[in-house]
Amino acid sequence: MQSYSKYNFYKATIISLFTAIMIAGFSIILGKENLFLMLNTNLGKFGDFFFTYATYLGDGIVWVIFVLFFLWKDRKQILVIVLSIIISTIIVHFIKGSVFINQPRPLEALPALKNIIHTIPNITIHLVGSFPSGHTTQVFTMYLLLCLIYNKNWILWVGYVLALIVGYSRVYQAQHFPIDVAGGIIAAIITVYSSIFISNKILSVKKSLMLI
């Protein structure tokens, strides 16, 4: 079985879960539309520029960079990383395609408020497939994996801030409701724990076969 840095990983899990619960709680209390309108604030040209590029940390190309880094630096972690990519993709697409089918995103759900919803010029705004946020799922999955692999306090906190920024960028760009971000965090937690379980089972079987 693979040896991991469980202390920081458990802390990262608790922090992430608490964040998701808080977002979901405020979404229920205030209403998901009202919370979205509160957070979808125009922060000017700097905010537009910053969140245009910050959101890319949750893009698929970053998974490629992530995998290439570990192929170069620490190949024994590749199994759990690849499993995380597969599982997170399955979870997000299953929920979007089979559970919350064509779930409207902010501009589609709030057509009467289009004039007050902040959007960034030249950014294509998607209208359906709101829950959960795939970008948030990816970035929190990477965050949890890094905390699992490396016992570094700075990764625990810097990684959390970066992941949270990506999640907020989806609301800032009017691509998602905050509840979608909460869903993405929960999907990430399920993804990594499932990946660890499956990875350990595969490695145990492999070890048993080598002893035969």
> d(Cα 162, Cα 190) in Å, to the nearest integer?
20
Mind listing the pLDDT tens digit for each residue in 88-137? Answer: 999 999 999 999 999 999 999 999 999 999 999 999 999 999 999 999 99
18, burial (CB in 10 Å: exposed 0-12, middle 13-18, buried 19+): exposed
Mind listing the pLDDT tens digit for each residue in 57-70? Answer: 999 999 999 999 99
Q: Which structure tokens are listed for 188?
A: 């990430």
Residue 166 CB contacts under 8 Å (≥ 6 apart), including other chains: 54, 55, 57, 58, 135, 136, 139
Model-level pTM? 0.94
